[in-house]
Structure 1
């Protein structure tokens, strides 16, 4: 698990993998918040969410339910509505925080290429894409102009 801010490329990167425990999810969420506070509030940023090696079937149900809302909630606070809300047909009621930098694009990475292709088909947008290769996600964030 790690989260980093690349001020040169203005990309916030976060990664989780493996079988997680509740404390690990909480620590990841705290670190995400801590690192995001390094982003000046006047900046727009992009985000790379890497969950390669994370399998829902390996997680405790409560832990997975806790984990799966971290990124959608975080990004909603940063003015970005992820496909999660459309996937579960849930209305986003989380207002953007005006004291936070604004996320303008998100790249999600997971090792299941079939799942990512389906997500791209059903949830992908010009500013949100799903990948099964980290290098492709990185390239998309670098090449696109948002």
Structure 2
């Protein structure tokens, strides 16, 4: 079996949509590269504006525990810099209490769609943590369609 990886982030100013994807069997260096791509996409957003985000980790598999630990804090901590509290962050009580929420360069995250292949995890997250502006999907196409169609309340 081949390890097809996708590691990329992009900003679409016409849709106010940031898309970030990490899939395949990844190690720590892949995760560092992914985080850098996410930061690069965020740097393209105009000051004092907003964005929606599609976090597509469908097919993601960390090759070891260290890679997974590095991975799991990136989205919650990054989005906290834009005023967004990821729904599942309270699962990690010790880490959650230390998160500071700001609005970097006056930018706000107003909606998030998450895609992952683990059906039981995603069903739980959708049942317990979804809200009007945040949903969890096992189908990346459905996630993207939802986030593209979502009109944020500003």
TM-score (norm 1): 0.90
CA shift digits 1:14-46 (9 cap, x unpaired): 000122111111111111111111000221110
2:65 is the counterpart of 1:61: yes
Question: What aligned pairs does 1:8-19 form with structure 2 within 5 A after superposition?
Answer: 8-19=14-25
State which of 82, 95, 98 in structure 2 corresponds to 1:78.
82
Structure with bigger strand share is 2
State which of 45, 49, 56 in structure 2 corresponds to 1:50.
56
Unaligned ranges ≥5, structure 1: none
- Match in the other structure for 1:41: 47
State which of 12, 22, 25 in structure 1 corresponds to 2:28.
22
CA shift digits 1:122-141 (9 cap, x unpaired): 11111111001112112211
Unaligned ranges ≥5, structure 2: 1-6
- Match in the other structure for 2:37: 31
Q: How many residues align?
A: 144
CA separation in 2, counterparts of 1:27 and 1:142? 25
CA separation in 2, counterparts of 1:128 and 1:122? 11
- Match in the other structure for 1:106: 112
CA RMSD of aligned residues (A): 1.5
CA shift digits 1:76-100 (9 cap, x unpaired): 0011010232222222522314415
Check whether the contact 2:28–2:67 (CA below 8 A) recurs between aligned residues.
yes
